[in-house]
Structure 1
Amino acid sequence: MALVVSDSIKRAVESSADEEQQIVKKIRVGGEMVEVHPEFERTSNLMSPTMMLTGHQAAVYSLQFDPSGQNLASGSFDKTIMLWSVYGECTNYNVLRAHKNAVLQVQWSPDGSRLISASADRTIGLWDPNTGKLKKKLQAHSGVVNSCAFGRRGNDMVASGSDDATLCVWDTRMRKPADVFECDYAVLAVGISKDNDQVFAAGLGEVVQVWDVRKGQVSLELEGHHHTITGMSLSPDGSYLLTNSMDNTLRQWDVRPFVQGSRCSKVYTGLQHNFEQTLLRCGWSPSGEQVASGSADRVVHVWDEMTTQELYHLPGHTGSVNEVSFHPKEPIIGSCGSDKVIYLGELS
């Protein structure tokens, strides 16, 4: 049965002062995790230290801040993409409808003028976020499209990965993919290098494949995970790739050329996957000094990039946390979950 979002979208914004929704922060002190209640100095321009956004009618799988930090996009099992204002009351100001199945990932273009979405309806949507109009549907996959990514140079290069075991590279000015790379497994996560010359793909194969776009072949394989890889994120400077796996680890890979020795530079632990096998995603802070991940234990985990120590343990969700996203300009982290809820919270 199709899920329908009414024109009058119910929206709830609650602050951390509300005891029923209060999020207690845990930080590491002297090797131990201690609770810190939100009587702390404000560090962001959010209306309240914690904002709760509701409106989706089913699990929220993806969220991303736009490059300006003024807007947020979220994708859901309810087949919609919602656009939100980050400041003030976090108003839901548009709902994008065109997909016929769940929206599994959303991504902004480098200049914020475009939005792409990966969907279980086997398509990638290309949107104008200013008008809310669908500009184009990219169709080539024969299975669920699990992941999508923009290149960092320009607004036209897009990668997509699917259950059909293909990695597609698109020039969005064209209707057909520029390249289709055959993988050995369902592709659950994709990324593009900072120079747009390499594309990363991972999924059921437990290995990250690095494809040379010009040569059309795998130039490198990153081995170390022991289970399915569900998410990936490139560091702000493009030197490192972060991957999230069902082996309950995040791994950081050095993807610079001519690296000597192991490319797996760090391992972060503490997150959890479970029987639901949700596609949990990960991300970097703008400075590259922190990394974060979704987790099936209903907690947002944030680690120190250098030491791999967990800095924040943020409860509040009542379902799996599927994706986390750092604000591009302020110490704010966003999270979305299977509980249909989005939280925005400021970090100290």
Structure 2
Amino acid sequence: MIRVALQPATLRPDPMELILKGHTNRVRCVAFSPDGRMLASGSHDRTVRLWDPGSRRILQTLKGHAHWVQDVAFSPDGRMLASGSCDGTVRLWDLDSGRILRTLVGHTNGVQCVAFSPNGQTLASGSSDGTVRLWDLTTGEILGILRGHTDCVYRVAFSPDGRVLASGSGDGTVQLWDPTTGQILHTLEGHTDWVRGVVFSPDGRILASGSWDRTVRLWNPATGKELRVLEGHTAPVYDVAFSPDGQMLASGSVDRTVRLWDPATGQVLHTLEGHQGAVWSMAFSPDGRTLASGGCGRAMRLWAIHESIAREARNGHQL
């Protein structure tokens, strides 16, 4: 395991920042569609909004949840959106009509996170009830209930090949599951506080986790070995996101910043400042040129990632 401390980034032009306003309460989650033509945001105002990221116009406002919307995810084919809410349900939306296709009921507490399997046939949801549930998207039936965490499940993520499901929890661990059998493959221990974010690299060789212990940790999901500890945030880390090419890792924090890291070297490439409160969620556009971030405010921010930053990431050494 390698521990990397924050190093000052070399001076370069600041990424361009655009602000999207429309929600009437905090923006809890953001996600880009697979083709990059749509951006979804979920809010404490109980709505999901669909945006054209180019024109910054609101395309649709999806209403139906009875409590905060904690997470949103597009299906791999881009035709459906899943939203998880503190009302304890997952809703599946048809993006052409804006209508609810199905409401998934089963969790006994708020739903914190949702993720589609790469083949689009299964949805995973994590909840404050401490479980991960797997849903058959054809029938809406529960395929399995994964029990192993002793606290709230804050984030779930499938590996790119769909063979591993990761879950981060308030118990401070990351569990790696076989989604077919429901068996735990590895328990990743190292964080000393809640794990709020987990994400696989696009090639599936690295898992990143962000925690309230203020660190981001990189793991080998095949072995469960910790590879690197990224330190620099001055407050809890809420979310982590890999760029589509895997050359850059973003982390959002209660310290009001987004940090862009080179995962190969552990060095900070840039620090994005502008949020007036905690950064709760982030998503890269499919082409990697834009990063969306939302948090403890009513607006989202869109950051244009300069080629100079991406080039520096590509020049890093492999782990």
* TM-score scaled by length of structure 2: 0.89
Q: Structure 1 residues 272 and 159 mapped into 2: Cα distance closer, same or farther (>3 Å)? A: farther
Aligned to 1:163: 128
Aligned to 1:339: 297
Counterparts of 1:66 and 1:272 in 2: how far apart (Å)? Answer: 31
State whether residues 139 and 176 of structure 1, in contact with CA within 8 Å, keep that contact through their aligned partners in structure 2.
no
Q: Which amino acid aligns with 2:147?
A: E
Instruction: Quote how far apart the aligned CAs of 1:127 are.
Output: 1.0
Q: Does residue 206 of structure 1 match 2:137? A: no
Aligned to 2:91: 125
Aligned to 1:186: 152
Please list every run of at least 4 consecutive aligned residues from structure 1 whose deviation after the TM superposition is greater than 3 angstroms: 31-38
Deviations 1:194-242 (A, max 9, x none): 3323322221211111122333221211111111101111111122211
State whether residues 59 and 340 of structure 1, in contact with CA within 8 Å, keep that contact through their aligned partners in structure 2.
yes
Deviations 1:134-190 (A, max 9, x none): 1111111000111111111x2221111111111101111123210012232221111
Q: Please tell me whether Structure 1 or Structure 2 has the larger radius of gyration of its CA atoms.
A: 1
State whether residues 243 and 288 of structure 2, in contact with CA within 8 Å, keep that contact through their aligned partners in structure 1.
no
Q: Does residue 196 of structure 1 match 2:153? A: no
Aligned to 1:92: 58
Find 1:304's aligned residue among 236, 256, 262.
Answer: 262
Deviations 1:5-42 (A, max 9, x none): xxxxxxxxxxxxxxxxxxxxxxxxxx63466555x9xx
* TM-score scaled by length of structure 1: 0.82
Q: Structure 1 residues 54 and 228 mapped into 2: Cα distance closer, same or farther (>3 Å)? A: same
State whether residues 303 and 311 of structure 1, in contact with CA within 8 Å, keep that contact through their aligned partners in structure 2.
yes
Of 265-274 and 231-240, the range deviating more from structure 2: 265-274
Aligned to 2:312: none
Instruction: Quote how far apart the aligned CAs of 1:346 are.
Output: 0.8
State whether residues 244 and 250 of structure 1, in contact with CA within 8 Å, keep that contact through their aligned partners in structure 2.
yes
Find 1:324's aligned residue among 269, 282, 297.
Answer: 282
Aligned to 1:16: none
Aligned to 1:24: none
Number of aligned pairs?
299
Q: Structure 1 residues 110 and 34 mapped into 2: Cα distance closer, same or farther (>3 Å)? A: same
Aligned to 1:236: 202
Q: Does residue 271 of structure 1 match 2:233? A: yes
Q: Structure 1 residues 200 and 34 mapped into 2: Cα distance closer, same or farther (>3 Å)? A: closer
Counterparts of 1:119 and 1:273 in 2: how far apart (Å)? Answer: 25
Q: Which amino acid aligns with 1:255?
A: P
Counterparts of 1:215 and 1:129 in 2: how far apart (Å)? Answer: 32
Aligned to 1:26: none
State whether residues 131 and 145 of structure 2, in contact with CA within 8 Å, keep that contact through their aligned partners in structure 1.
yes
Counterparts of 1:324 and 1:216 in 2: how far apart (Å)? Answer: 28
Q: Which runs of 5+ in 1 are unaligned?
A: 1-30, 41-48
Tell me the secondary structure at the aligned position of residue 313 of structure 1: strand
State whether residues 205 and 228 of structure 1, in contact with CA within 8 Å, keep that contact through their aligned partners in structure 2.
yes
- 1:1-348 pair list within 5 angstroms: 32-33=8-9, 36=12, 49-87=16-54, 89-152=55-118, 154-183=119-148, 184-256=150-222, 259=223, 263-273=225-235, 280-348=238-306
Identity over aligned pairs, percent: 33
State whether residues 140 and 176 of structure 1, in contact with CA within 8 Å, keep that contact through their aligned partners in structure 2.
no
Q: Which amino acid aligns with 2:230?
A: Y
Counterparts of 1:32 and 1:201 in 2: how far apart (Å)? Answer: 32
Tell me the secondary structure at the aligned position of residue 274 of structure 2: coil
Counterparts of 2:110 and 2:273 in 1: how far apart (Å)? Answer: 31
State whether residues 151 and 157 of structure 1, in contact with CA within 8 Å, keep that contact through their aligned partners in structure 2.
yes
Q: Structure 1 residues 340 and 35 mapped into 2: Cα distance closer, same or farther (>3 Å)? A: farther
Of 184-193 and 139-148, the range deviating more from structure 2: 184-193
Of 197-206 and 72-81, the range deviating more from structure 2: 197-206
Q: Structure 1 residues 272 and 56 mapped into 2: Cα distance closer, same or farther (>3 Å)? A: farther
State whether residues 317 and 341 of structure 1, in contact with CA within 8 Å, keep that contact through their aligned partners in structure 2.
no
Counterparts of 1:140 and 1:32 in 2: how far apart (Å)? Answer: 47
Counterparts of 2:95 and 2:248 in 1: how far apart (Å)? Answer: 29
